[in-house]
Chain A
């Protein structure tokens, strides 16, 4: 099994004609079996990490995919040696588990560019969770030599927050016609952004969104500093605080895109060393998530088993022990429960 991972890795690094085929397959293998990831990462140690992993999020229809498409065009035209990876995450149907993955429809002009690799993912069907799937694809993109990786997600659910932790920077995409400033305040998007992009600047209302956004960010900044020492000012021409960036663009007409790439470039230049350290720290969150998921699973199993003999609930009601004592007993049992088997374990049986 590990042999064929080697073969795939070799086919990718040797730049054979079927390099992309090997990369696509390797990504699937890692999604099917995240336990293979360490073996791949072991082979990657002398390969440079991407300079920038950018998360792109925003409401459906705000133009994230078209924006990604425009950014690819701009980066590739500046420097044709830079390879780019894109992960486009779309929600899975809660009924069927299926998904309609339509993001790359907006990026089809790059379909035959061998230095652009686009992979669509749904939010379901990943052993070990979506972030592990993302890490696997990221590793293959690194093997392909991608210097910039975009990860596109919809909305601000738990999945997006987890992915935001994988990314070095998160860009929030807004566009006119998606509600007033109050929508901005309640969306929750405003808490996770490093860069705010007002897309569709060619349309009516883009200036209003831009103004609302600036005043919101300034309000947040003032609140953070200390409202007592600052005065509210809603002049849209005044710059927002350090570390926050706002750019108005039209992905369709390419207006503002060169400036956006220049901003991203500057931030990357200044931070990419620091990001590499932070990426390792980000994995700690993933380990924590895995532990919690495993303990949740064990908790259900232990409770189901306990039911057959004497339910902890009944023991508490009969005054045999307190809720805390019942919980402590169960935790002791959980520690010794069977660990979750991975597909790899099964294959080795």
Chain B
């Protein structure tokens, strides 16, 4: 996809004035938060499971090279093929080669963020292979030529009437007078149109929520069943997964599965959790004849051993964006990257470089909700702060912010001067606040006060107020 992260401010301003988007974004707040809370409250072991899941992933990441070797052995033993891709380009080439060997014309796809990350659809199309997205949300955005705006609800930025218009525009073989006013009708139409495509497909591509070293299995978690039809009816099943999806054992996988659906949609389990191991067996009447796993690095090995290693615990549940006030305000597209929201703000600079993604760690209020809901206990705000530090160190921060910080640092390093300046400034700012106690415009801070007022200080510095409080208490 075209990364537009450097334009985050412009993207966000446009999103704030996009009325249909603002209407659709209400569904994020209403749809996800209460359901997650109810599921979590119903499971007293939820917090213990979070600790357990964090420990499992920490252990796996510390031994990732060895688990990868074990996993590879098991896949090969079950008749599958493992391909290693260092970059997105390598992964695309490997997948194309698999498709070409099978003379594939059509490829069905289960929902996969990794294939978004490597820009697979455009690439396959350019090479004469038609990719068909089968997840309802992915299908809708494919019709619109868009990218997902949410990692588990790709079309969450759209309203029903927009989907209806797209279906009428594309499904011209259906009677124009048909009724598409209800959600059910839209779903039925997509089901009917896509059903035939599964049978026609030469190759079925899915992502993976987990890779299990103990058995060589890949795991997908869906509610629609599209990923299962994709991998069962295609003659060849290709799994595209990043390295950090590994878990040691089936029992380890169970721990994290209990967190995934609850954190994502508030279900105890998603409707379909499917473990796939190798191609169909000699006696099996259905299933794919070939099974390939494409393991993607694309910058992840460079995160190991750094302050960003913990990000590799992420299981892509979407809870961080579901609870993010910035995501609620601007939606996923404004981030201009494959992964939006807090997890995207940490991951994008890691994968695409800080020059490209450095803006995103600033798109945060640091309220900390993302960390508090993250099932894998990933310290997202801390990592965004690390990116901000790096951005500053590499002189990528805008000059106004740099000079502002230098100005502040000059005083902060000289406490006496700082206190003197503050005791002069506070009464002045307090007076500026007037009777409303709010400052509407401030020199050099127009960018800040354009969208909100600055609450006026009370007139005293913290140290002055503290000294008075101490004096009062000792005097008593």
Binding between chains A and B: no
* Chain B residues in the interface with A (C-beta under 8 A): none
* Chain A residues in the interface with B (C-beta under 8 A): none
